Amino acid sequence: MFKKILIANRGEIALRIIHACKEMGIRTVAAHSTADADSLPVKMADQAVCIGPGEASKSYLSVPALISAAEVTSCDAVHPGYGFLSENAGFAEVCGECNITFIGPSPESIRLMGNKSVARETAVKAGVPVVPGSDGPIESEETAKEAAGRIEYPVILKASAGGGGRGMRIVHEEAELMDSLKLVQAEAGAAFGDKAIYMEKFVANPRHIEVQVLGDKHGNIVHLFERDCSIQRRHQKIIEEAPSVALDQALREKMTSAALTLAHHIKYYSAGTFEFLLDSKGKFYFMEMNTRVQVEHPVTEMITDVDIIKEQIKVAYGMPLGFSQKDVSIFGHSIECRVNAEDPEKFVPSTGTITELHLPGGPGVRIDTAVYQGYKIPQYYDSMIGKVVVHAHTRVEAIHRMRRALGEFHISGIRTTLPLLLKIMHSEEFEKGEVSTRFIEDFLSRNAAQPTAG
């Protein structure tokens, strides 16, 4: 087994990786920026190496800094977490060249599925249904007009190199098309360094259903069922749950089958997630694949009792998966709420020092966080400060448990989205499970008249 792993990430996921390593007797090295010198992962890891200043481009996104850190501390593997370089095929390749195992899929898989329009084409080849769309990137204004005419409005323009819900725009009619095209191209160029965009049919009020898979380097691939991540704000997930109330066994079989077909088609190994859109008529379409561990992986861990990070490490080492498809089943229901350091109404990031913190506990409650009382939130990174995850026998129980957990979560010194999460959790709409990606928008406008308590 690996002796030492470099954690090329920060915050709660860095801590999550440290948890798994500690339990496996693997030493950890926390690569961190100057802004994270006082962070929990740095305190918890066996060793820490400062790799650069706060700006991610000079630290967490710097391939030389991370490789150098792994070399000087004699790490034999690196875990990239999520975001940052986790889906950077170049980084995965350099790791290989430097004899450091990249804990993730092959560079080829990352390359293939990282480009969203290539991923679509791959799905089509594998016989997996995709949202009707442009076959390949939009080359010109003429192509855009023709594709939109064929696909039929409303359409959505997306950055090929995009992800995380950024670099997208919905176009309702031809009059908006040209301006939207230019805007998305500019956004794509700025955010991802690649202006290529593709077009898809915009499925109105879909559910966002994703399937978790785990593969080893011996060709074994297993799915760990689905997650429902429909509750999003501006394409950023806020609440996730497993399993999805929208899936009956037949639909579940179809969707997990599609995910496995695609995974086998590209000979995938490590953890990966296939994202689908599910319309109100039970039709599903492949949207994109994330070739990394995801933020919301805990809800899957709770219902299957599989430690996804440990499995990633074992697979990376070359071990075969320790279980087969028939060994996993869904037990109970799990919900996750992401807590962001943001104003709960305006969603403006809130920086500052956490003056008081009491985290909920008790049965069926799991908190994945790297904040502590006295911690000063750095300005350089995303605003998520933690995840509240619950597990219970039924969805109703899970909702009650989440209401309790959120109610017991006490934090002062910064503003968080806890009040909004509580409102949603207490709402009838959420209880009924009638959610789609429009949920937040509708919920917020319905509740606009009632300001949330700070």
Partner 1 sequence: MDIEEIKKLIKLVEKSGIRELEVEEGGKKVRISKYEGGEVVPRTPVSYAPMPAHHVIPPAQASPVSPEEAGKSEAEEKYHLVKSPMVGTFYMAPAEDAAPFVKEGDVVSAGQTLCIIEAMKLMNEIESDVSGRVVKILPENGAPVEYGETLFKVEPL
Q: Which residues bind partner 1 (CB under 8 A)?
A: 31, 34, 49-53, 59, 64-65, 67-69, 71-74, 94, 98-99
Tell me which residue of 206, 212, 285 sits closest to 246, measured CA to CA.
206
Contact 353, 374 (CB under 8 A): yes
Residue closer to partner 1, measured from CB, 35 or 263: 35
Tell me which residue of 260, 284, 288 sits closest to 115, measured CA to CA.
288
Contact 239, 389 (CB under 8 A): no
Find the shortest distance in angstroms from Cβ 5 to partner 1: 15
- Name the one residue in this structure whose structure tokens are 């003056």: 355
Residue closer to partner 1, measured from CB, 73 or 373: 73
Residue closer to partner 1, measured from CB, 95 or 213: 95
Residue closer to partner 1, measured from CB, 59 or 369: 59
Find the shortest distance in angstroms from Cβ 37 to partner 1: 9
Rounded CA-CA distance 175/155 in Å is 13
Catalytic residue among 233, 252, 292, 401: 292
| Count of C-beta atoms within a 10 Å radius of residue 98 | 13
C-alpha separations of 418 from 8, 280, 347 in Å: 29, 30, 12
Find the shortest distance in angstroms from Cβ 73 to partner 1: 7
Residue closer to partner 1, measured from CB, 51 or 177: 51
Residue closer to partner 1, measured from CB, 67 or 181: 67
Find the shortest distance in angstroms from Cβ 225 to partner 1: 40
Find the shortest distance in angstroms from Cβ 381 to partner 1: 17
Find the shortest distance in angstroms from Cβ 63 to partner 1: 8
Burial degree of 368 (CB within 10 A; 0-12, 13-18, 19+): buried
Find the shortest distance in angstroms from Cβ 74 to partner 1: 5
Residue closer to partner 1, measured from CB, 65 or 171: 65
Contact 321, 315 (CB under 8 A): yes
Question: Which amino acid does the sequence have at 65?
Answer: A
Residue closer to partner 1, measured from CB, 140 or 379: 379
Residue closer to partner 1, measured from CB, 97 or 142: 97
Catalytic residue flag (residue 16):
no
Residue numbers annotated as active site: 292
